[in-house]
Amino acid sequence: MTPGRPSNRMRLLPQLLRFALIPLSAVALLAAEPAVELKPDEGSLDAAHGEIDRKSGQWHFWDKVHLFVPGTLELWCEDLVVIQRTDAKGKRITDRIVARTNVVLVTTASTPGLSNPNESKTGETNRATAFQALFDAAQGTIELTGEENGPQPKIESKDYTLRGNRFVFDRANGRFKGDKDFLMIFKATAIKDIFKSTNSPAKTAAPAKTP
């Protein structure tokens, strides 16, 4: 070996690295599935298993169900049933959607979706947890209920936390109802104006009086 010159082993090292990197890169590219972009007005549904029964009109998905409608909501549960019916024109339409077991529902105005139900992000408006969430197209309602002898459904936002045995959001009439052991906790910052003192002088835009 000539002093000052790298040995044969050292000269081969870059080539070896190159040969190792090529298959490793290929593996990484193959393993990393590209995220499928949703088109406008499109949502996605992932689950371990599914069954589409066209006779009964029931689409059943179970085991790690994740439903994502960009800009509208994101839902996780263990069991989801889409119930369809045939309308007067003979067209199949969705009548109800029932999500059960470990339901987490996040309403959000932004995309992309969360990676898991425990993640939170900017743009999240409400987060609900329940045993069951029932979306009813005919009544225009979303109903959250708990399991018997189980935890109550809960709705959280940055301003409040709601608990009750049953919540019904009447989207058609813009009403929200919670009943049966209902509890509402407001965060102080959300209601600070209620407790503002009325003795302080009213502020005006008029210039200060000169003495």
Partner 1 sequence: MKRSPAAPPIARFALAGVLSCGVLIALAQSPSSKPSGPAPKSPGPAASRLIATNQIQKGFSFPYQEGGRVVFRFSGSQYRALSLTELSVEQFTLETFNTNSGLAEWVGIAPQCVVSTTSREVHSAGPVTLKQADGQFSLSGVGFSWSHAADRLVISNQLHATFHTSLFSPLQ
Q: Which pair of structure tokens corresponds to residue 66?
A: 């994740």
Q: Within 137-156, which residues bind partner 1 (CB under 8 A)?
A: 137
Q: Answer yes or no whether residue 109 interacts with partner 1 by CB under 8 A.
A: no
- Reported as type and span, the H/E element at residue 30 is helix 8-31
Out of 9, 55, 89, 196, point to the residue binding partner 1 (CB under 8 A).
55
Minimum CB separation of residue 92 from partner 1 in Å reads 9
Q: Which residues contact 141 (CB under 8 A, 6 or more apart)?
A: 134, 135, 168, 169, 170, 171, 172
Half-sphere exposure of 164 (CA within 13 A, CB side): 18
Q: Give the whole-angstrom CA distance, residue 158 versus residue 15.
A: 56
Q: Answer yes or no whether residue 51 interacts with partner 1 by CB under 8 A.
A: yes
In the bound state with partner 1, the residue whose beta carbon lies nearer, of 23 and 90, is 90
CA-closest candidate to residue 104, choices 136, 133, 71: 133
Q: Answer yes or no whether residue 89 interacts with partner 1 by CB under 8 A.
A: no
Out of 5, 9, 18, 54, point to the residue binding partner 1 (CB under 8 A).
54
Minimum CB separation of residue 61 from partner 1 in Å reads 7
Q: Give the whole-angstrom CA distance, residue 152 versus residue 139.
A: 23
Q: Answer yes or no whether residue 135 interacts with partner 1 by CB under 8 A.
A: yes
Q: Answer yes or no whether residue 106 interacts with partner 1 by CB under 8 A.
A: no
Q: Are 178 and 161 in contact (CB under 8 A)?
A: no
Out of 25, 72, 110, 120, point to the residue binding partner 1 (CB under 8 A).
72
Q: Answer yes or no whether residue 114 interacts with partner 1 by CB under 8 A.
A: no
CA distances in angstroms from 47 to 50, 51, 101, 104, 154, listed in the order given:
7, 11, 14, 15, 24
Minimum CB separation of residue 135 from partner 1 in Å reads 4
Q: What does the binding site for partner 1 look like in residue numbers (CB under 8 A)?
A: 36, 38, 41-55, 61, 67, 69, 72-73, 82, 90, 93-97, 135-137
